[in-house]
Amino acid sequence: MPLKKLVAGNWKMHGVSSDIAEIQEIAAAAKDYSDIDVALCVPAILIERAARAVPGFSIGGQDVHHAEKGAHTGCTSAAMLHDAGASLTIVGHSERREAQRESDEEVKAKAEAALAVGLQVILCVGESLELREKGDAVPVVTEQLDGSLPAVESPAGLAIAYEPIWAIGTGKIPTVAEIAEMHETIRSRLRQRYGEAGGGVRILYGGSVKASNAAEIFAIRDVDGALVGGASLKAADFIPIVAAASGR
Ligand code: PGA
């Protein structure tokens, strides 16, 4: 049985009050695709307004602090995201791993903190172009995954996003064979770690997903959805990707 696909938008540092109308348009159009889980991960400060504007639609954060509370100026805890109306969060996005030097250990702690309050988690992994060209993509992503996976008995609520760094925002995407190889590797690690339940963890592909390439990507085995950046900002770009996930 294929897993129900998840198509999540990552708005990154985009979105102010006037964009709530776009979120409403996306949420309204997503209702036609009940076979697909659709979500938007918006800036933390927009979560509460977005969640109020689209009841029943999944709004998420893009990062979370690993601590429950404390002296962490400028940070947002998992309980705060949840309280604001988020039902999920991204952790370990490469833009944070790079700019904020987040380690695998920190990403793991973030995932655990988010799952503990009932948020779903999209945990990102992915290799640089240099590592891909050296032929090291699979071992490097495997190591990243092993170090970042939350130590939980059940991985319910967890999804992995494979996002090659060189494919993010560049218009370049790996070949079908490269995506298939990586997703198969991730699936086997998930089964090793979580047993049978590892088969139920969704593995998303992310990096330059657009309406024009989505159907081809979703047809690959073990691709259970997508994490979409630039093409998630407008309903006109995002909804055709949801439609492709639904096979329409
Ligand atoms: P992109 O970003 O779709 O703009 O390449 C994806 C991501 O960073 O999650």
The DSSP secondary-structure symbol of 44 reads H
Which of 135-171 are b and which e, b meaning 16 or more Cβ less than 10 Å from the residue's Cβ? eebbebbbebbeebbbebeebebbbbbbbbbbbbeee
Ligand 1 atom at minimal distance to the Cα of residue 94: 8
Q: What is the pLDDT of residues 111-164, one digit of tens each?
A: 999 999 999 999 999 999 999 999 999 999 999 999 999 999 999 999 999 999
Radius of gyration of the chain (CA): 17
How confident is the model at residue 1, as a pLDDT? 80
Distance 43 CA to ligand 1 centre (A): 15
- Ligand 1: residues with CB < 6 A are 10, 163, 168-169, 206-209, 227-231
Distance, in Å, from the CA atom of 63 to the CA atom of 209, rounded to the nearest integer, reads 21
Distance 13 CA to ligand 1 centre (A): 12
Amino acid at 65: H
Q: What is the pLDDT of residues 6-58, one digit of tens each?
A: 999 999 999 999 999 999 999 999 999 999 999 999 999 999 999 999 999 99
Distance 11 CA to ligand 1 centre (A): 9
Which of 24-44 are b and which e, b meaning 16 or more Cβ less than 10 Å from the residue's Cβ? ebbbebbeebeebbbbbbbbb
Neighbour count for residue 221 (Cβ, 10 Å): 11
Q: What is the pTM of this model?
A: 0.98
Closest CA to 96 of 15, 165, 179: 165
Ligand 1 atom at minimal distance to the Cα of residue 167: 5
Residue nearest to atom 7 of ligand 1 (CA): 229
Ligand 1 atom at minimal distance to the Cα of residue 231: 3
Q: What is the pLDDT of residues 156-165, one digit of tens each?
A: 999 999 999 9
Q: Are 22 and 233 in contact (CB under 8 A)?
A: yes
Amino acid at 168: I
